[in-house]
Structure 1
Amino acid sequence: MKKFAALGTLLILTTALAAAPKDTLVVQLSSDIPTMDPGVTYDTASGEVVENMYETLITYKGASLSQLEPLLATAWKISNNSKTYTFDLRKNVKFHSGNTMTCADAEYSFERNLVTNSAESGNWFIAESLLGTGSNANDDKTITWARIDKAVECNNAGQLVFNLPKVDPAFLAKLAYVGQSVVDSKHAAKIGEWSGKEADWKSWVGKDLTASKLASQPSGTGAYKLVRKDANAALFTAHDAYWGKKPAIKNVIIQKVPEPAARYQAFLRGDADLIEGTGRAGDTDSVKGKPGVVWVEGIPNTSASAFFMNQNIKATGLLGSGKLDGKGIPANFFSDVNVRRAFSYAFDYAGYIRDVQDGQGMQRTVLLPDTFPGYAANVKKYTLNTNLAKAYFQKAWGGQLWKNGFVLTANYRAGSKAAQTAMEILKKNIESLNPKFRVNIQSKPWSEMLESSKKGQEAMIVIGWAPDYADPDNFMYTFYSSNGYYSPRSNFKDASVDKWLEQARSTTNTAERNRLYALVANRAYEQAPYILMPAGVGYLFHRDNLVGASKANFNTMISFAFTGTFWKELSKK
């Protein structure tokens, strides 16, 4: 009891400390931690803590995005024409509860993800691999308990076996995602989670686990375990029975500090070792070059962002008159490729890199990180060209668009200076082409914009994607397939693109996959379904007494994006 009392006091008093203690890592975020349940971890704030309490079968090797190494597994083999994966599991691994990890825990974890799967949980892509569909049993009545039970099972030798219905070249990368962590099945059942049995599986189908009992009472195999959490802070301490190397840092405190100025001040005083910044411009002005601060440039950017031009807008409130009469736009305004090309030529990419990204950015050819396999560097790129923009606008809709003009209303994420500036650049350039062109831009709360765009109700928004797994499929299928996650937001559909993406999903031949992705990239340039936002060059900053947060160790697939590594790899001098 004394140990918990002391740690509780530390949690309360940390903000008043002259400097964070040597055995304690203090991190300040702008918002809270949505969940601590791996089964529904699908945001970076949750991932940053869950990946340190729980562990996956395999993980990324160092900074590599292509090399995977064992974690809770010790080895694996692939058979049955790449449709069966068999894993040997690590012995004598203890959960935070004291229970010993067995194959049954791993089987339970994956079956739980398949049972509770929803688009919001992030388990849709493991369901695609193991069941052949991203749906759950409520949405797809062909999914039975027998199918789920067969997809993942323990054999007589205690090995974990995955049985895929078809080849999935991205399967191993998917297993490294934090949401596929192994949970303590005995502990979960004891506190009232799914039993892991057929008897009650139906009642858990599609269930939201955000506020589950496991979210408040986690038990993983990771190097750190939860001590306590409230609305503004969470305290973690090293897991004494951890199977791996003992962490150098004993305690980790995550604090919610919404005000950026307060985070910057705490960081510069040394009260916080790591903080969530506000973007390159704000971080540069506030902390770069200041005493006690280490600034690291050249961190790979593995996200991709774009203007979405919705080809089937379902919200009449954004359409004005709903016609090409100069007072609005029709719902299929962006279905004319000439409109999309005109918009693409009207954006000032170089100016955005110069003014918003302080010159630290690059134009990509396709919505795929340039560090990922499959990136096609030789595809043409749009540049600001007002003459071509004008020419395509004059072609659009048989000349009626240029003659009558239009009024477009576009929303951007409230509080996002980058998205607002991008919209302002586009608005200015388009309205300068024709006095009858009007682009009205307005801010909208992020949660509302996500929900309305998912329903196809936004005309044009700026939105991005961060990878779930380090495979080109996670971006290319998401953005460009008519069955992809973002399809309802863009309503882009091209039969050739769909065919090429499905073919890329069905082969393990890397050269063939790269060829198919290049075809998609070239077709996307021709059809211009998106205006590609320049990708900013990544960076990180931390207190100079923190060891282990370096460019050499940084892996962009680690959710703890402040350092690109796990807490257990850090120390303080």
Structure 2
Amino acid sequence: MKRTGLFAALVLVAAAFSLPAQAAKTDFTMGLVLEPPHLDPTAGAAAAIDEVVYANVFEGLTRIDRNGEVKPALAKSWTISDDGLTYTFTLNDGVKFHDGTDMTAEDVKFTLDRAMAEDSTNAQKALFEPIETVEAADPKTVVITLKRPTGHFLFNLGWGDAVIVASETAETNKEKPVGTGPFRFVEWVPGDHITIEKNPDYWGNPVALDKATFKIIPDPAAATAALLAEDVDAFANFPAPEALPQFEADPRFTVVSGSTEGETILSTNNGKPPFDNLKVRQAIAHAIDRQAIIDGAMFGLGTPIGSHFAPHHPAYVDLTGTYPYDPEKAKALLAEAGFPDGFEATLKLPPPSYARRGGEIIADQLGKVGIKLEIIPVEWAQWLEQAFKGKDYDLTIVSHTEPMDIGIYARPDYYFDYHNPKFNEIMDKLAAETDTQKRYDLMREAQKILADDAVNGFLFELAKPGVWNAKLEGLWENSPVQANDLTEVRWTE
């Protein structure tokens, strides 16, 4: 080889060895089925809010991790008095809101006082009812005194509804959320996407992602196409279970089937005739074939339930046999209730595929026993306004994804309009009980009451089919809370 040729070859070899390894990606796009109505988790019930901002933009004193366990968050430690009434929290050092202001005990006091206030718009105001007083003892110390011992108080503080906000920005968090989390809000293009970016001044462990985008894709077919084209990197809650085999056969993707806290129910307006009649509700329960709904709407994904409780919880009782599928029994009960020829009603269906697909099947099932349903598709904002807030509905289908939320049936003005003093008494005992086994016994008793009263059509526990790029790690397989926690998400290459 000529000397010039040898020199050129050596230069090329040296250059090859000096090239840096290809850096892992630092941006990420997740598909979302439902667009949140706004971005303030302390002022709205929609799960889609927490799915964007929980643990990413906003943080609470505690947090719920991927295993459903309570962990420190803005509070690095706490002590509990012997009588169970006084919680003293010590806050982490150096915590700032995204606008640069310090987060102190005064912000904690403001947040909790605001959530408890008479004019509070917090969707889970009942979480804060046990609180007697909140005191900012010094900038880093918060003392919370309870009215009575509350066994699940630390868990309650980990809900998205209990994240800490600043008085200066609380009123504008719906459009421009300002939290303390590892990501800060960048933009929201309604109907299209929400973008957050890495917070360079985060007080805790920095995240691996520089930017994350939540892409709004409500249509199952469009969600499938977006993943296959790699326009989105992940769907933590994939809306097209019929397409899962296609992704399982594609090495580009990871497919997981996790669990959720989502009790999917045929919500029933118990305060409105004829649904205020127990025999009518029992007839509806007997007319429902849960497995046919799971197979037809969810392609087999989902666990049948007979009450409002998650099957993976140790206190779960299988009550699906309380009112087994029996159309003839349903017709007889309707006749006893004064409706031998059935009746007409409406079924309002929000956008999720479990509701739209499941609604068609339920309408057919109830039609066979004489209950003729008019299906009314509604958008999520309409559902929240009409059904959830206004009780303007007969029947609807929704998945309640809040953790351990059986207590909603004791709320005096909840949209089911259900009232049972015995159930409420059990909830009061549960709130004060700290012994685990005694709590489980109360939970079992509560499940039985709801099943016997046929409060709602209890359908199935929502599964969590997730599909994402095989090079991603750190996404949650299960949903112990309604969240897409991105704090541990990273690309492996």
TM-score, scaled to structure 1: 0.73
Q: Describe how 1:243-392 pairs up with structure 2 within 5 A.
A: 243-257=203-217, 260-275=220-235, 279-284=239-244, 287-297=247-257, 299-313=258-272, 331=273, 333-372=274-313, 374-377=315-318, 380-392=321-333
Match of 1:141 in 2: none
Between the aligned partners of 1:393 and 1:89, the Cα distance in structure 2 is: 58
8 Å CA contact 2:349, 2:355 repeated in 1:
yes
Residues 148-159 of structure 1 aligned to structure 2 (within 5 Å)? 151-156=133-138, 158-159=140-141
* CA offsets 1:391-433 (integer angstroms, 9 cap, x no match): 4334x23xx432xx23222223154553344444444444445
Match of residue 129 from structure 2: 128
Look up the equivalent residue of 2:342 and give its one-letter code: F
Contact 1:77 1:85 in 2 (8 A): yes
Residue 11 of structure 1 corresponds to which residue in structure 2?
none
Partner of 1:34: 37
CA–CA separation in structure 2 for the residues paired with 1:258 and 1:349: 25
C-alpha displacement of 1:365: 3.0
Amino acid at match of 1:241: D
Partner of 1:323: none
Q: Which runs of 5+ in 1 are unaligned?
A: 1-19, 132-150, 194-208, 314-330
Q: Is the 8 A contact 2:105 2:139 kept in 1?
A: no
Alpha-carbon shift at residue 55 of structure 1 (Å): 1.6
CA deviation map 1:144-164 (0-9, x unaligned): xxxxxxx21111584111112
How far is 1:291 from its partner? 4.5
Q: Are the equivalent residues in 2 in contact too, given 1:406–1:438 (CA < 8 A)?
A: yes
Change (3 A) 1:107 1:373: farther
- C-alpha distance in structure 2 between counterparts of 1:377 and 1:163, whole Å: 37
CA pair 292-524 structure 1, distance change in 2 beyond 3 A: same
User: Residue 445 in 1 paired to residue 365 in 2?
Assistant: no
Gaps of 5+ in 2: 1-22
Equivalent residue number for residue 143 of structure 1: none
User: Of residues 67, 76, 79 in structure 1, which corresponds to 2:78?
Assistant: 76
Using a 3 Å threshold, how does the CA distance of structure 1 residues 116 and 245 change in structure 2: closer, same or farther?
A: farther
Cα deviation 1:88-144 (Å, max 9, x = unaligned): 11112333333333222322332333348545x32512431325xxxxxxxxxxxxx
**In 2, Cα distance between the equivalents of 1:432 and 1:423?**
14
Residue 96 of structure 1 is matched in structure 2 by 98
* CA distance in 1: counterparts of 2:211 and 2:34, whole angstroms: 20
Task: Report the CA distance between 1:541 and its aligned residue.
Answer: 0.9
Structure 2 counterpart of 1:138: none
Q: Is it true that 1:220 corresponds to 2:155 in the alignment?
A: no
Shift of 1:215: 4.2
Q: More deviation in 453-462 or 247-256?
A: 453-462
> Post-superposition shift, 1:478?
1.0
1:463 aligns to 2:465 (yes or no): no
1: CA distance, partners of 2:60 / 2:279: 47
**Is residue 516 of structure 1 aligned with residue 442 of structure 2?**
yes
> Aligned-pair distance for 1:248?
1.6
Residue aligned with 2:325, SS: coil
Question: Equivalents in 2 of 1:54, 1:97: separation in Å?
Answer: 13
The equivalent of 2:483 in structure 1 is 559
More strand by share: 2
- Deviation per CA, 1:476-523: give whole Å up to 9, x if none: 2213x2x3563x43x333332222222222222222222222222223
- How many correspondences in the alignment? 467
Cα contact 1:169–1:507 (8 A) shared by 2: yes
Q: Percent identity?
A: 20
**1:181 matched to which residue of 2?**
163
Alpha-carbon distance in 2 for matches of 1:24, 1:502: 47
| Residue 292 (structure 1) shift | 1.2
The letter for the 2-side match of 1:130 is I
Q: Report if the CA contact (8 A) 2:27-2:209 is conserved.
A: yes
SS across alignment from 1:54: coil
Which residue in the other structure is 2:343 paired with?
407
Classify the secondary structure of the residue corresponding to 1:168: coil
1:490-501 to structure 2, matched below 5 A, reads 491-501=417-427
**1:301/1:504 CA distance change after superposition, 3 Å:** same
- 2:61 pairs with one of 54, 57, 79: 57
Which residue of structure 1 aligns with residue 490 of structure 2? 570
**In 1, are the aligned partners of 2:186 and 2:196 still within 8 Å (CA)?**
yes
Helix, strand or coil at the partner of 1:498: helix
Deviations 1:152-203 (A, max 9, x none): 1111584111112223222111111123222345xx2xxxx5xxxxxxxxxx
What is the SS of the residue equivalent to 2:329? helix
Asked which structure has the greater RCO (Cα within 8 Å, sep 6+), the reply is 2
- TM-score computed with the length of structure 2 as normaliser: 0.84
Match for residue 534 of structure 1 among 443, 447, 460: 460
Shift of 1:260: 4.8
Question: CA 1:547 to 1:98, structure 2 compared with 1: closer, same or farther past 3 Å?
Answer: same
Amino acid at match of 2:418: F
Contact 1:306 1:462 in 2 (8 A): yes
Q: Distance in 1 between matches of 2:126 and 2:234?
A: 32
User: SS state of the match for residue 100, structure 2?
Assistant: coil
Tell whether 2:46 aligns with 1:43. yes
Contact 1:380 1:525 in 2 (8 A): no
In 2 relative to 1, CA 254–117 (structure 1 residues): closer, same or farther, beyond 3 Å?
Answer: farther
* Corresponding residue number in structure 2 for 1:238: 198
Larger mean Cα displacement after TM superposition, 215-224 or 257-266: 257-266
User: Letter of the aligned partner of 1:539 in structure 2?
Assistant: P
Match of 1:107 in 2: 109
Please say if residues 24 and 491 of structure 2, whose CA atoms lie closer than 8 Å, have aligned partners that are also in contact.
no
CA contact (8 A) 1:347 1:425 kept: no
Distance 1:527 1:462, change over 3 A: same
The alignment's C-alpha RMSD in Å is 3.0
Report the 3-state secondary structure (helix = DSSP H, G, I; strand = E; otherwise coil) of the residue aligned with 1:248. Answer: coil
Letter in 2 for 1:355: G
CA distance in 2, matches of 1:550, 1:414: 25
CA distance in 2, matches of 1:364, 1:350: 10
State the AA in 1 paired with 2:70.
L
Cα distance in 1 between the residues matched to 2:368 and 2:194: 51
The structure with the greater share of residues assigned to helix is 1
Distance 1:32 1:347 in 2: 30
- Give the 3 Å change call, closer, same or farther, for CA 80–276 of structure 1 in structure 2: closer
Structure 1 pair 376–182 and aligned structure 2 pair: CA distance change class (3 A)? same
In structure 2, the CA distance between the partners of 1:279 and 1:215, relative to structure 1 (3 Å rule), is: closer
Native 8 Å contact 1:296 1:541 kept in 2: yes
**Contact 2:242–2:299, Cα closer than 8 Å, also in 1:** no
